[in-house]
Amino acid sequence: MRNRLKVLRAERDWSQGDLAERLQVSRQSVNAIETGKYDPSLPLAFRIADLFGLPIEEIFLKD
């Protein structure tokens, strides 16, 4: 699954650490999600969507 996390984060000038802190996860988790090594669970995907104020499908895209 692809995602726009890196772009959305860059638009806000957040580092991976900033995003990790806001999501209360490790920076490694943010890195793994951004690089497509790990697909987040539905609850974490909702938390990400809430943080960016966007629907999930505008952040996570089908391959």
Partner 1 sequence: MAEDSTPGRAPLIWGLVFVVAMFGTGFGARFAHLSGFWTMVVMLPPMLLLIPMIRSAERSGNLSGCTSPALKRYNRRGLIWAFSYVAALFFAISVNDALKPEGPLLWLIAVLPALPIVYFVWALYRYLVEETDEYLKMRYVTHALFGLGLLLVVATVWGFLESFKVVPHVESWMTVPVWAIGLGVAQIWQRVRGS
Q: DSSP letter at 25?
A: S
Question: Is 12 near partner 1 (CB under 8 A)?
Answer: no
How many residues of this chain interact with partner 1, rule: CB under 8 A?
19
Length of the chain: 63
Tokens coding 27: 């920076």
Subset of residues 31 to 60 that bind partner 1, contact rule: CB under 8 A? 31-33, 37-38, 40-41, 44
For partner 1, the closer of residues 24 and 63 by Cβ is 24
For partner 1, the closer of residues 30 and 59 by Cβ is 30
Contact 30, 5 (CB under 8 A): yes
